[in-house]
Structure 1
Amino acid sequence: MSLLSIQGVRKSFGDHVVLDDFSLEVERGECVVLIGASGSGKSTLLRCVNLLETVDDGVVELAGEDITDPQVDADAIRSRIGIVFQAFNLFPHLSVLDNITLAPRKVHKIAPAAARETALAMLGRVGLAEKANAKPDELSGGQQQRVAIARALVNAPELMLLDEVTSALDPELVGEVLALLADLKGEGMTMVLSTHEMSFARQVADKVCFLHDGRLLEVGPPEQVLANPQHERTKQFLSRITA
């Protein structure tokens, strides 16, 4: 059974169709990279999987459970899925440690001491143990994004969704975030991420998916999609990226 199964999903905003009969299977431990131009539907797809948007048609299943069922407990599902956006969305008035422990304490009712212990361990995992008491504005962009990833990981999600997590970073800071994602992949984390970092997709992805106008036009291993694309739209997109 796939960990994530997306079947015939359609999503529109008014008359604008953003996802059109979109289907994708993600196996446990896979890293699936979404590529495509802005407006192709990548971010909306991730938001639909995390139930931040309601699909108009189709089914999304997490470990065999239909999470698009209107009766589903959305908060319970979101506790099983970590999501990180391109904007760090850290609370500026809270310390790094408080940012990470806020949801475990307030939402999941974890005891403060236990939440703190887990958060410190997670900060160590992302290489920021010494920044626990710092405020977000005392960190570099790359460090802030690693804190955001740690915050998503602290609840031990089954699935991580990452939406252009390096696009707001200075070029010299991109590498540290991508290295962390590569480490997570090596540890068996299932990830679906949108990115324009083709080198990362080549090195780490199990599948690369090319989206155009809300449709999945091409999917396959990176050596096929990136090096030998079959669809003309994929070829055009990659030629613009490499140019």
Structure 2
Amino acid sequence: MSSPAIPAQPLLSAQGLRKAFGPQVVLDGLDLEVGAGECVVLIGGSGSGKSTLLRCLNLLETVDDGQILLEGTDISDPRADVDAVRSRIGIVFQAFNLFPHLTVLDNVTLAPVRVHRVPRAEARARGLEMLVRVGLADKAAMLPDQLSGGQQQRVAIARALVLRPALMLLDEVTSSLDPELVGEVLGLLRELRSDGMTMVIATHEMSFARQVADTVCFLSGGRVLESGPPEQVFTAPRTERLRDFLAALTPYAPSADEPRGQEPDGR
């Protein structure tokens, strides 16, 4: 008789995370699990804790309580090697944060060379590989202000990918883009999703969330109030708070790369 299958360990497990800024509690006992190759999309209103959660997962903020496990290792332990953790967990923000005086390639290779001591030639080869991946190899020698906003965001994604992370965190990466540039960044994320990249994405693009997510998590009051497959979350929400959130979304016109008839999007 065969032994029962042992459930696979999640790539990332956050348990009971609490984070407060003074009297304001932003994360309040939050739990989250992300399997290898999974795309988890975070939705929720302003102040629900999405950005703070991503910053805690990347150790840009320290949690007040709880535990974060990456591949079974407690990275929330104060003794954790922060640089090593950040080489395994890439993060991209809505602001591009590119150095204006450095070329595109130098922006992408700065952290591998300066922080992780990757030999410069190897870092440049990796950087060019990632620029090919995001469709910007021909922009390697340009400065950031010579690029469109969508191109700059794709450079920021390449910069996160160059360390070959196990997990990518993306925080509202289309929020600062003009509407006509949103599609090119979302298209890149769809490609990464198809390639099996493990991602946690905070977004207000509901149609995108429905298309790419394995699991959608609705955050409210610093907790994951409801989670499940996109069809369940968007068409059969179980809680009144999620129903109210979805009902308040403003209808929008789909971008050029999206098929007509998508769900309303929240801005």
- TM-score, normalising length from structure 2? 0.90
**Whole-angstrom distance in 1 between the partners of 2:249 and 2:176:** 17
Aligned equivalent of 2:195, options 187, 193, 196: 187
| Residue in 2 that maps onto 1:129 | 137
**Whole-angstrom distance in 1 between the partners of 2:250 and 2:197:** 29
Provide the secondary structure at the position in 1 that maps to 2:97. coil
Asked which structure has the greater RCO (Cα within 8 Å, sep 6+), the reply is: 1
CA deviation digits over 1:102-159, x for unaligned, max 9? 1111111112111111111110110001000110001000000000000000000000
| Residue in 1 that maps onto 2:90 | 82
The answer to whether residue 191 in structure 2 is matched with residue 175 in structure 1 is no
**Whole-angstrom distance in 1 between the partners of 2:219 and 2:117:** 39
CA deviation digits over 1:172-212, x for unaligned, max 9? 11111011111111111100010011111111000000011
| Residue in 2 that maps onto 1:47 | 55
Answer whether contact 2:17 2:27 (CA < 8 A) is retained. Answer: yes
Cα offset, 1:242, TM superposition: 3.7
Q: Within 5 A, what are the aligned runs for 1:90-169?
A: 90-169=98-177
**Whole-angstrom distance in 2 between the partners of 1:2 and 1:194:** 19
Q: Structure 1: any 5+ residue segments left out of the alignment? A: none
Amino acid of the structure 1 residue aligned with 2:161:
L
| Residue in 2 that maps onto 1:19 | 27
| Residue in 2 that maps onto 1:61 | 69
| Residue in 2 that maps onto 1:224 | 232
Q: Structure 2: any 5+ residue segments left out of the alignment? A: 1-8, 252-267
**Whole-angstrom distance in 2 between the partners of 1:108 and 1:57:** 29
| Residue in 1 that maps onto 2:264 | none
Amino acid of the structure 2 residue aligned with 1:211:
L
| Residue in 1 that maps onto 2:242 | 234
Aligned equivalent of 2:78, options 70, 85, 96: 70
Amino acid of the structure 1 residue aligned with 2:229:
P
| Residue in 2 that maps onto 1:201 | 209
Cα offset, 1:75, TM superposition: 1.3
Q: CA RMSD in A?
A: 0.8
**Whole-angstrom distance in 1 between the partners of 2:100 and 2:250:** 36
**Whole-angstrom distance in 1 between the partners of 2:244 and 2:14:** 26
**Whole-angstrom distance in 2 between the partners of 1:73 and 1:129:** 32
**Whole-angstrom distance in 1 between the partners of 2:181 and 2:247:** 25
**Whole-angstrom distance in 1 between the partners of 2:241 and 2:117:** 48
Provide the secondary structure at the position in 2 that maps to 1:118. helix
**Pair member with larger Rg:** 2
Provide the secondary structure at the position in 1 that maps to 2:249. helix
**Whole-angstrom distance in 2 between the partners of 1:115 and 1:61:** 28
Answer whether contact 2:83 2:115 (CA < 8 A) is retained. Answer: no
Stretch moving more, 203-212 or 110-119: 110-119
State the identity %: 70
Answer whether contact 2:17 2:31 (CA < 8 A) is retained. Answer: yes
**Whole-angstrom distance in 2 between the partners of 1:109 and 1:11:** 32
